[in-house]
Homo-oligomer: A and B are copies of this chain.
């Protein structure tokens, strides 16, 4: 692992990732900088994130940024997998959906303030300094505050949910959505996932272990190098207020470890606080007078998406036929996460008929909900090598090329990203082949 100062240095250099500042920092290994730059450049070039330095920087920091179409699909796939794994893992996990801003939260934090009434107060020249301050304070306090996590919303939902499960423990509430995290005076947007688990006081530590195992296994399931994902107990002196234990799920980025998901044993203090200490509302059917304990599991899916991109980028060097060194970059995203499962292209001398076949296949894929890339629509002719290189960088699982042979025999070429092998397949088989491939990878 890098030292803290080396890490800070890398981070400061990365704030302008495209300017070459290499060598200025003794402790930052240049290959680390190269790897990060390569990744960010590839993500911008291949439609994962929108271009622009400040956008790349948001992304690198693990915050929400402006995503391109491939980044959107990757995040959708990731969130969908998370949802199924959490709500489908146990009978009693329910989804909830709370507001991202709310009038009832405590003072402080970030607030959504309307500019117009604010300006109107400032413009009232008859107000004294004290009256001005009083009015502005009132406006601020009456403005809805934006959430920094999904915990509060779930705690508020505890009572109606308890009715639903007939007052039996344990059960959990799951939610995902944007949150605002204060950072350097401004606030950063983050796509959070949250599971808030309510259980008996004596079982909360075991449940923390259960969910920590569950989460680590989930993160590793989609990894190319599972060992880059790890979990660690939070040391006692770093525990957050009101928590008795914590576990972090970590990813080893080129510049060091960052946390993807955090689990806490939170006790009953916050639950009591949200429900104003009315213990009778919070009691369950187990006969004991105790209030449930809370285990929270909250993740950052923007950073999660970046972890998988970082994890799946392979740079392969090999000599070509003429002994020139070739560098091939492949984004080996897990089949379930890969935003494009299949790219559709035409060979040289494309005819109207060949394009029609592409249209037909595309419709078939869309109906079967197989995400497809209509490469045949691009008018610029390019070599098959360049095409493969591009799709490898996009992480496209399979490339289908329609040639003249397809018109004669119905046969087409299917190239695999992971094996680089080209197979000949009949046009009627391709849809089933892809569906089976993706669902088999899901079940592994």
User: How many angstroms between the C-alpha atoms of A64 and B97 in the bound complex?
Assistant: 9
Within 8 A of B (CB), among A145-184: 145-146, 153, 156-157, 160-161, 164-166, 168, 175, 177-178, 180, 182
* Least distance between A157 CB and chain B CB atoms (Å): 6
A200 at the interface (CB under 8 A from B): no
CA distance A157 to B44 in the complex (A): 13
| A189 in contact with B136 given A95-B72, A96-B67, A108-B115 (CB within 8 Å) | no
Q: Which residues of B contact A113 (CB under 8 A)?
A: 110-113, 140, 143
Q: Is the CB of A92 within 8 A of B160?
A: no
Report the contact-size class of chain A (Cβ under 8 Å from the partner): 35 or more
Contact with B along A223-254 (1 / 0, CB 8 A): 00000000000000000000000000000000
Distance between Cα atoms of A64 and B186 in the complex (Å): 26
CA distance A84 to B380 in the complex (A): 28
Docked pose: A157 CA to B164 CA in angstroms: 44
Task: Give chain B nearest CB distance to A357 CB in angstroms.
Answer: 14
> Which residues does chain B contribute within 8 Å of A100, judged by CB atoms?
100, 178, 189
The chain B residue sitting closest to A116, CB to CB, is: B108
A86 → chain B, closest Cβ, in Å?
A: 11
A91 in the interface (beta carbon within 8 A): yes
Q: Is the CB of B111 within 8 A of A165?
A: no
Knowing A185-B114, A185-B117 touch, does A377 contact B165 (C-beta < 8 A)? yes
> Is residue A15 within 8 Å, beta carbon to beta carbon, of the partner chain?
no
Annotate A247-289 by CB proximity to B: 1 below 8 A, 0 otherwise: 0000000000000000000000000000000000000010000
Cβ-defined partner of A166 (8 Å) among B165, B186, B369, B380: B380
Say yes or no: is A129 at the interface (Cβ < 8 Å to chain B).
yes
Contact A122/B133 with A377-B168, A379-B166 known, Cβ cut-off 8 Å: yes
Q: B97, A71: Cβ atoms under 8 Å?
A: yes
Write out the residue numbers on chain B whose beta carbons fall within 8 Å of the beta carbon of A110. Answer: 112-115
Q: A169 CB to closest chain B CB, in angstroms? A: 12
Shortest beta-carbon distance, A102 to chain B, in Å? Answer: 9
Q: Is A211 an interface residue (CB 8 A)?
A: no
Decide yes or no whether A94 CB sits under 8 A from chain B.
yes
Give Cα distance in the complex from A115 to B137, angstroms: 10
**A136-B122 in contact (CB<8A):** yes
Q: Which residues of B have CB within 8 Å of A164?
A: 47, 68-69
Take A50-B157, A67-B96, A91-B362 as given contacts and tell me if A111 and B115 are in contact as well, using a CB distance cutoff of 8 Å: yes
A residues 111-134 near B (Cβ < 8 Å) are: 111-118, 122, 129, 132-133
Contact between A160 and B108 (Cβ–Cβ < 8 Å)?
Answer: no
Residues from chain B with Cβ under 8 Å of A180 in the complex: 101, 112
A374 at interface (Cβ–Cβ under 8 A)?
yes
Q: How far is the CB of A117 from chain B (nearest CB, A)?
A: 6
The answer on a CB contact under 8 Å between B92 and A166 is no
**A4 interface residue per 8 A CB criterion:** no
Report if A187 contacts B (CB, 8 A). yes
Q: How far is the CA of A107 from the CA of B100 in the complex (A)?
A: 23
Residues of B within 8 A of A380 (CB): 166
Q: Enumerate chain B residues within 8 angstroms of A94, measured Cβ to Cβ.
A: 68-69, 72
Q: What are the 5 A-B residue pairs with the smallest beta carbon separation, nearest first?
A: A69-B94, A72-B95, A67-B97, A88-B366, A91-B374
A-B contact pairs, 10 of them (CB 8 A): A66-B99, A69-B164, A72-B175, A92-B377, A100-B100, A112-B187, A117-B185, A136-B136, A168-B379, A177-B178
A residues within 8 Å of B by Cβ? Answer: 47, 50-51, 64-69, 71-73, 75-76, 84, 88, 91-92, 94-101, 107-118, 122, 129, 132-133, 136-137, 140, 143-146, 153, 156-157, 160-161, 164-166, 168, 175, 177-178, 180, 182, 185-187, 189, 285, 359, 362, 366-367, 369, 374, 377-380
